[in-house]
Each structure stands twice: as structure tokens, then as C-alpha cells.
Structure 1
Amino acid sequence: MKYAKWTILTLLALTVIGFFHYTLPQHDIVRVVNTYQERQDLNDWTRIFWSSPDDQSGTLVNRDVQFIQTVKANGKPMVYRNEDTSWSWPPYFKFDTANLQTEAEDLKSTAAAPQWVSVTHYGWRIVYFSAFPNAISIKPVDGPDATIIPWFNIFFFVFLAVILLVLRRMWLQFRERSIDPVLEDMGEAWDGVEDRADAAAGRARGVWGRFRAWLGTWKGKPRP
């Protein structure tokens, strides 16, 4: 049971961490090298890695998706999809796909004359599943060593910690006022039952003892 408990807790923790890592915004310092549009098939389970804008049917099997090709400072490529999230999950309320594609096109540069930009995105790049992070915004930065402070994530986790502390306090108060008294009453009732059972057992032993003593008085009497 001990191993099963820790296995379940580990899987739960990994699920929560993975959910936040996929959903919360991240920032990459990259150089835009190209933008393009490509039709993507959406008829298998990998559809979960693509957005579902409100203005597109959930039964759509393929659609055109815009992409932004970039290169990191270490020379590794990174490709982002550029899709509206509209009112769906995650709640970025992104409606400016065309504008973002234009901004990315305008910020293209070469290795000889690099223009470094910060791309805010969510999601993962999984080559084997053709999964791409979704670009949310793009802005120029001074260089590849620019520091981006994730203010949203900081505020989010502070807010989440406050909410968890409030919920914990509410639970402790509820337990103190409602559950603990019931458990104490149950404990007292059980103690009373045990006391009565012990008393009954004592009385039974007393009666049985007196009965055996009475029988003993007959053993030594002579026969007439």
C-alpha cells in the first residue's frame, strides 16, 4: 500500500506540473527566419495539440495553419504555430493571428544581421507528434541574453498559493467545528459501550463464580 500511495501521488504531481507547464506562458529568445502557411490534418488523437477556435467546426478534418520558423541563440530551430484561441482553452483570448503573422514577417533577419525577439507562447514542441507551441505575442529585444521576467506566472502561483492557504484554513475550521465534535462524540459513545461491556462481563464472571462456588459446596457432602 505504501508504494501504491506514493505512485499515485507521484503521477498526480506529474499531471499537475505537466498541465501548468503546457498551459502557462513561456518566453523564448529567438531569431525569426521565415513564416509560412500549411494545411494540417486533424483527424487523429494529435488534434489535442491544435487549437479549436469558436469559428471552426469541431468535426473539421483539416485546415490551414500559419507557422513561424525561428532559430535560437544556440543554433537550434524552433517552429511555432500561430492560431487563434478565441474563447476556448487555454484562456488567452487570442484573436490577432493575422497581425501576429505580419509582425513576425516584419521581424525576419539573417545570421549576419540578427534581430532577436521574445516569443511568448504556450504548449510543447514534440517532433514525433508534429506538435508545435502556439505563439501568443512577439516583440524585439536587445539581444540573445535579454532577461524576461515571467510576471504572469509569478502572480499566478502567488495567487494559487493564497487560494490554497485559504481553502486549507476553511477546511481546518470546518473540521474543528463540524467533524471533530462528531468524532469526539463517537469516541465517547464507544468508550461508554466498552465500559458497559466490561461491566456486563464483570457481572457475568461474578454470577458464574458464585455458581461454581455453590456447586463446590456439594462436593464434600457425604451420601445418605
Structure 2
Amino acid sequence: MVYVKWGFWLIVWTIVAAFLHYSLPKYDVVRIVNTYEKRQDLDSWTRMFWADPDEQSRRLANRDVQFIQAVRPNGRTIVYRNEDTGWGWPPYFKFDTANLYTEASDLISTKADPKWVAIMHFGWRNIFLSIFPNAISVTPVDGPEDKPFNWFTNLFMVVLAAFAGYVYLRWRRFRRNRLDPVWEGVEGSLNAAGGAISAKRNRFQAWLNTWKAKK
């Protein structure tokens, strides 16, 4: 029973952690090497990882998506999609896809003369499922080590941890003051009922034994 309980909570917290990791903003310091637009297929397995800003997009099997190709300081490549989030989730309220595409195109640079930028994004990159993080903003920085401090995500995690701790303490207090006495009363009643039944069974057995003795 203990293993089932811990397994359940492990699954729950894994889902919560994955949800937060996907939704919260992150920063990458990169060098933009290209921007382009491509017709992207939206299959049933990966549709959830693409923006869904309007009713029309829900009926489309594919659509044109803007992409930003970049290179990290260590030489590894990364590709971002550039889609409006609209009023959907996560609530970034991004409506400036065209402007961001122009800004990214203007910041394209070469390896010989790099221009480093900090791209704020959310989501994951998976080459097997063809999913891409969604770029939210592009900000020039002084160098590859000049990564902005992620104030929002860190503050959000602190507030979330404090809220979770508060809820946990309130729950423990509620369980100690309200639930535990009830369960103790129920357990005591069950024990008393069990004892009474056992006593009656013993008396009945003793009565039968008296008849056996007479025989």
C-alpha cells in the first residue's frame, strides 16, 4: 500500500513538474543564423504543442509557421517556432509574431562577426516529434555569457513553493484537529463492536459446550 501511495504521488509531481517546465519562460543566449517560413503538418499526436489561436487553425491539417534558426555559444544548434499564443495557454498574450520575425531577421549574424541575443521562450525541442519551443522575445546582449536573470520563473517558483507549504500545513492541521478524532472514534467504535461480537461468540460457544457436556 505504501508503494502504491508513493508511486501515485511520484506520477502526480512528475506531471506537475513537466507542465511547469513546458509553460514557464526560459532564456537562451544564441546567435541567430536564419529565419524562414515552412508549411508544417499538424498531426493528432503533436497538435497540442503548436499554437491554436483561432477556430480555423483547429480544422487545418497543416499551416505556414515561422522559424528562427540559432546557434548556442557551445556550437549546438536550436530552432524556435514563432507563433502567436493569442488568449490561449500559456497566457503570454503574444500577438506580435510579424514584429518578432522582423527583429530576429535583423539580428542575423555570422560566426566571424557574431551578434548575441537572449531569446525568451517556452516549450520543448524534440527532433523525433518535430516540436519546437516558441520564441516570445528577442533581446540583444553584450556576449554569450550575458544571460538575463529569469526573475519571473524564479519568483513564481518561490511563491508556488510557499503556497504549497502553506496548503500542506493547513491540511495537516485540519487532519489533526478534525479528521483524526473522527477516525479514532470510528476505529474505537469498530473495535468495541468487534469486542462485543467476540464476547457474544464466546458466550454462545460456552453455551454449546454445556450441551456437549450433558450428552
In 1, Cα distance between equivalents of 2:48 and 2:158: 29
Equivalent position of 1:26 in the other structure: 26
**Offset from partner CA, 1:58-104 (integer Å, 9 cap, x none):** 11122211111111112222111100001111111111111111111
Residues 32, 107 of structure 1: 8 Å contact kept? yes
Q: CA deviation at 1:56?
A: 3.9
Q: CA deviation at 1:142?
A: 1.0
CA 1:128 to 1:201, structure 2 compared with 1: closer, same or farther past 3 Å? Answer: closer
Equivalenced residues, count: 215
1:42 and 2:42 matched: yes
CA 1:55 to 1:171, structure 2 compared with 1: closer, same or farther past 3 Å? Answer: same
CA 1:209 to 1:4, structure 2 compared with 1: closer, same or farther past 3 Å? Answer: closer
Find the residue that maps to 1:40 and give its secondary structure: strand
CA 1:198 to 1:47, structure 2 compared with 1: closer, same or farther past 3 Å? Answer: closer
**Offset from partner CA, 1:158-184 (integer Å, 9 cap, x none):** 111122122212322332333222212
CA 1:47 to 1:190, structure 2 compared with 1: closer, same or farther past 3 Å? Answer: closer
In 2, Cα distance between equivalents of 1:190 and 1:9: 30
In 1, Cα distance between equivalents of 2:180 and 2:27: 48
The structure with more radius of gyration: 1
Q: Comparing 93-102 with 166-175, which one deviates more in the overlay? A: 166-175
In 2, Cα distance between equivalents of 1:42 and 1:190: 59
**Offset from partner CA, 1:161-209 (integer Å, 9 cap, x none):** 1221222123223323332222122122223324434544565576667
**Offset from partner CA, 1:5-59 (integer Å, 9 cap, x none):** 6555544443333222222111111011121112212244222221111364311
Residues 35, 105 of structure 1: 8 Å contact kept? yes
Unaligned runs of 5+ in 1: 217-224
CA 1:164 to 1:42, structure 2 compared with 1: closer, same or farther past 3 Å? Answer: same
- Two-structure CA RMSD over aligned residues (Å): 2.6
Q: Comparing 42-51 with 189-198, which one deviates more in the overlay? A: 189-198
Unaligned runs of 5+ in 2: none
In 2, Cα distance between equivalents of 1:166 and 1:2: 25
Question: For 1:73-92, what aligned pairs fall within 5 Å after superposition?
Answer: 73-92=73-92
AA partner of residue 67 (structure 1): F
Residues 27, 147 of structure 2: 8 Å contact kept? no
In 2, Cα distance between equivalents of 1:23 and 1:29: 19
TM-score w.r.t. the length of structure 2 is 0.85
Q: CA deviation at 1:3?
A: 6.1
Equivalent position of 1:71 in the other structure: 71
In 2, Cα distance between equivalents of 1:209 and 1:43: 77
**Once the two structures are aligned, what percentage of the paired residues are identical?**
49
Find the residue that maps to 1:129 and give its secondary structure: coil
In 2, Cα distance between equivalents of 1:114 and 1:44: 39
Equivalent position of 2:130 in the other structure: 130
Equivalent position of 1:113 in the other structure: 113
AA partner of residue 105 (structure 1): S
